[in-house]
Amino acid sequence: MVDLGEIVRGEGAQYLLTHDVWPVQRKAWRDIGQCQTEALGSMPATCDDCEAEYRLLGSCGNRSCPLCAGEARKKWLEAREEELLPVQYLHVVFAVPREFYVLAQYCPRAFYDAVMRATGQAVIDVGWSELHIQLGCYTQFHTWTQKLLKHLHAHVAVPAGGFSEGGSEWVPFEPGDLPAKALRKRFGTLLCRFVQDAARKGKFDCLPSTVKIEQLLVRARAHRWKVYAKPPFGGGGGLLRYLARYMYRVAITNRRIESYENRQVTFWCRTAAGTDEETLCTLEGQEFLRRFLMHVPPKRFVRSRSYGFLGNRKRKEMSARAVQLIDEGKERPSRAPFKPLRLCPECARRRGIRKTHFAPVLSPDVQSQIDIPLRPPPLGPIAA
């Protein structure tokens, strides 16, 4: 089985010699290349079935790594499913015009923040202006296509209903009542405004002198912005499961990688958006690594956010209030919380569960091989 770490280890050294790499991309390259290998050592574990002692190879914990955060994804999905309302959902996709891609290339953190704010605020504003209710939504930012090309867009999950102005009533609506045209216009207005505000604050000062914010805004406004708004396949639960797949990783999963031979990577990709038909795509190893690294998110950028009555501060309270109004006081059935399953190699094989990060049996105490010296702790207090 080929994984992303094998490709990173095979192509990384040459790539760093021939390409400019951001620090966050270099860290992702190093972490993914060492993840679940002897370089990160091993840790003891106890099997939940036979209670035998075994050891697991260490994981890097990088949020771009496809091997890590599997349990975190399941916990996130479980928490969102607990908040899932018994109504229809809308899947809204906001596409960013290509005129703005240069901002993402030189100032990704500032521009991505502007996109996330614009998507969430557009949904809330159109809810008030067109439906006269307070909406809520989950947003998640993606930067890739199936072939790992640059495509900046935000996925938004919107319940088909909201609170009245006083918050005393739940007002449902049909999925077609939330107009994509109004969302498109409001998103364009807000994103241009937020880009202008960020430019005035100096957040785009690192742009080349040949790139002018005013010219980008004029060209972007001249184009027809793209917004997709339709009920998702599989309902709200299916949409949340889709968002959970890329909650703690980016661009590609190991399942899609078919082979890595002769410095070429072959992986599966869909033939067209919205279809399940897949075809094989082959890239040179260096090009594959370049495409993957350009989707590593900036440091401290939050890719998943919530707005409206689903905002973090009052999400639990407002979700419970919505369920109470929708179901007229019926209590939501309780579910057992997610519990990770720890299995030794033998029990995992017997259950048909495929794991690849068991430590070698002959050398249970694997020593770390990281050749990067750790930074000493600071001598004084660090300012907040």
pLDDT tens figures, 173-196: 998 899 999 999 999 999 999 999
Does residue 355 sit in helix, strand or coil? coil
CB atoms within 10 A of CB 28: 24
**Residue with structure tokens 């407002």?**
318
Higher pLDDT, 272 or 3: 3
Most trustworthy range by pLDDT among 8-17, 44-53, 270-279, 364-373: 8-17
Selection from 232, 254, 319, 245 nearest residue 77 by Cα:
245
Question: Is the per-residue pLDDT at 344 higher than 90?
Answer: no
Question: Is the per-residue pLDDT at 357 higher than 60?
Answer: yes
- Dihedral-angle region of residue 181 (phi above 0 means left; psi in -120 to 50 means alpha; beta otherwise): alpha
Burial (CB count <10 Å: 0-12, 13-18, 19+), residue 251: buried
**Residue with structure tokens 């928490």?**
79
Residue 380: per-residue pLDDT: 40
Lowest mean pLDDT among 34-38, 97-101, 147-151, 153-157: 34-38
Residue 301: per-residue pLDDT: 93
Does residue 124 sit in helix, strand or coil? helix
Residue 338: per-residue pLDDT: 60
pLDDT band for position 363 (cuts 50, 70, 90): very low
CB atoms within 10 A of CB 98: 13
The CA distance from 75 to 244, in Å, is 10
Cα distances from 278 to residues 182, 329, 334, in angstroms, run: 34, 46, 38
Fold of 70-251+295-326: Replication Protein E1; Chain: A, (3.40.1310)
Q: What is the DSSP string of 246-302?
A: TSS--S--GGGEEEEETTEEEEEEESSTT---EEEEEEEHHHHHHHHHTTSPPTT--
The CA distance from 309 to 323, in Å, is 13
Burial (CB count <10 Å: 0-12, 13-18, 19+), residue 9: middle
Most trustworthy range by pLDDT among 133-147, 307-321, 361-375: 133-147
The residues pairing with 230 across neighbouring beta strands, listed in sequence order, are 91
Lowest mean pLDDT among 38-47, 240-249, 255-264: 38-47
- Dihedral-angle region of residue 297 (phi above 0 means left; psi in -120 to 50 means alpha; beta otherwise): beta
Lowest mean pLDDT among 149-158, 233-242, 279-288: 233-242
For residue range 112-155, what is the model confidence (pLDDT) as tens digits?
A: 999 999 999 999 999 999 999 999 999 999 999 999 999 999 99
The CA distance from 324 to 257, in Å, is 45
pLDDT band for position 270 (cuts 50, 70, 90): confident
Residue 295: per-residue pLDDT: 93
The CA distance from 13 to 120, in Å, is 40
Q: Two tokens at 250? A: 């980016």
In the chain, which residues fall in CATH 3.40.1310?
70-251+295-326
Residue 274: per-residue pLDDT: 61
